[in-house]
Amino acid sequence: ITVDCGAAANEAVAHATDIGLKVVVIDHHMMREEPPKCLAVVNPNRPGCTSGQGNLAAAGVVFVLLAALNREGRQRGLFAATPEPDIRQWLDLAAMGAICDVTRLTGFNRALASLGLKSMSGWNNPGLAALMKVAGAELGEAKSQTVGFVLGPRINAGGRIGRSDLGASLLSTQDAREADMLARELDELNRARRDVEADVTEQAIRMVEATGAHQDESACVLVAGEDWHPGVVGIVAGRLRERWRKPVVVVGLDPVTGTGKGSGRSQQGMNLGRAVQKAWEEGVLIAGGGHAMAAGLTVATDNLEILRAFLNDALSGEQEAAQALDWVEIDALIDARSATRDLFESFEKLAPYGPANPEPVFAFEHIQVREPMAMNGGHVRCRLAGPDGASVRAIAWRCADLPLGRMLLSGQGGLCVSGRLKADDWNGRRGVQLEIEDVADPRMGA
């Protein structure tokens, strides 16, 4: 049984079938027109599927399949003497999949995420509770941020640079002592993953910005380096996409095999998965697939320049429309005095947040930046003060060397600032801080 893969792996599945394996593919990725030849392909993004549930993550597809198996079991009378499995106990894992895979939180998928977070908040899964403990986080109400920034990266760290079975072992154990041991190991791997990621990110930025490839008219950026760990190239691609505002593909090259493993992250309005699929169909790639916002690929080193040209050509027609979508939509204009915990909590009723249900973005006018400070990791912390003297704590991530960060660090006044309010519970203060999205100087509007 494959999960989150296999939908486009026709050759591998065919080989598995030829050697006598019975294969069931559970996936959500884009497929070829002809599905893999196996016992079953469960995929809401299968050509011809009319379910309308294509925004489900693979974990959500698994949850729906379990519900269908329970229903079939009832019809066959399998639970006359055996208790029917209560799949609600795994709602927390379905929610994790929806949030960590950055799926569109609408319709059934949104309900699944919402119910899953409520289930998770009981912290009945020993592995999740242990992860929260090693992260120094409180076992309170689980939110999208808890999953996306505390739990998800640590669970994934095992598969990225350590042992891929650690996450599954952690989530399935019922032994608190084993959970604690596995959580500590994953936390250490996550620290190591951050170091590896930072190193690859720094190298990639230097390589691209030295050539100006991020500022030319190309539709996407492709950057490759020897021995870049394949477990972090996807995260690095996401970081660089945020920085350069265009699709980015990062490839780790293996000089021994002469091939590269790559991962890409896309900009809204540009279907990177479709472009990668076309590249595979045209013989540019050894393997490749994905969906609109993310893709993975394997490429021969000799084909890197061909791949760069192919992706730029395939995505160029979507570039203008995507640039028109790349703007900050403001939900409300407020002043620093109004940025309170009460305001934050009133909007929290709209959670869980994610794609298609984004957090509200607030804007502030006539702001003076006070006490700006550059932090490790390129973050900038400061205080934003309004004309009446009221102020709100704020932070901008990974921007110290960008125009946004330089504007904050200069301590300018008269600025417009937009961002998202977050809880600030450090040392029991129960306040808020603004995660800055963008800064503009209205005097430079022309």
Position 433 confidence tier, pLDDT thresholds 50, 70, 90: very high
Tens-place pLDDT, residues 304-332: 999 999 999 999 999 999 988 888 899 99
Three-state secondary-structure class, residue 137: coil
* 10 and 101 co-located in one domain: no
C-alpha 50/C-alpha 402 separation (Å) is 45
Shared domain check, 423 and 343: yes
Q: Is the Cα dihedral 187, 190, 192, 198 positive or negative?
A: negative
Q: Taking a C-beta distance cutoff of 8 angstroms, is the pair 95, 103 a contact?
A: no
Question: Helix (H, G, I), strand (E, B), or coil: what is residue 86?
Answer: coil
Distances (CA, A) of 399 to 149, 385, 396, 403: 19, 20, 7, 8
Buried b / exposed e across 123-157, counting CB within 10 Å, b at 16+?
bebbbbbbbbbbbeeeeeebbbebbbebbbbbbbb
CA 107 vs. chain centroid, Å, equals: 20
Please indicate, yes or no, whether residues 53 and 36 belong to a single structural domain of this protein.
Answer: no
* Residues contacting 369, CB < 8 A, separation 6+: 382, 383, 384, 407, 408, 410, 411, 412, 413, 415
Indicate the pLDDT class of residue 283, thresholds 50, 70 and 90: very high
What letter would DSSP give residue 322? H
Secondary structure letter of residue 380 according to DSSP: E
pLDDT given at position 44: 97
Given this model, what pLDDT does residue 446 score? Answer: 54
Which pLDDT belongs to residue 83? 95
Chain segment 72-93, per-residue pLDDT in tens = 999 999 999 999 999 999 999 9
Mean pLDDT, residues 145-149 taken together:
94
Distance CA 159, CA 188 (A): 13
CATH of the domain at 422: 2.40.50.140
Residue 347 lies in a domain: yes
How does pLDDT run across 191-247, given as a tens digit for each residue?
999 999 999 999 999 999 999 989 888 999 999 999 999 999 999 999 999 999 999
Tokens coding 205: 């930025």
Query: For the chain, how far is it from start to end, CA to CA, in angstroms?
Result: 58
Q: Which domain holds residue 22?
A: 1-46
Which residue, of 164, 192, 220, is where some domain finishes?
A: 192
State yes or no: pLDDT of 445 exceeds 70: no
| 132 & 234 share domain | no
pLDDT tens-digit readout, 3-57: 999 998 999 999 999 999 999 999 999 888 899 999 999 999 999 999 999 999 9
CATH number at residue 225: 3.10.310.30
pLDDT over 90 at 392, yes or no: yes
11-32: burial string, b at 16+ Cβ within 10 Å, e else: eebeebeeeeeebebbbbbbbe
Q: Which two tokens stand for residue 267?
A: 């900009």
Distance CA 210, CA 399 (A): 18
Question: Is residue 356 one of the residues assigned to a domain?
Answer: yes
Give me the number of domains the chain comprises.
Answer: 4
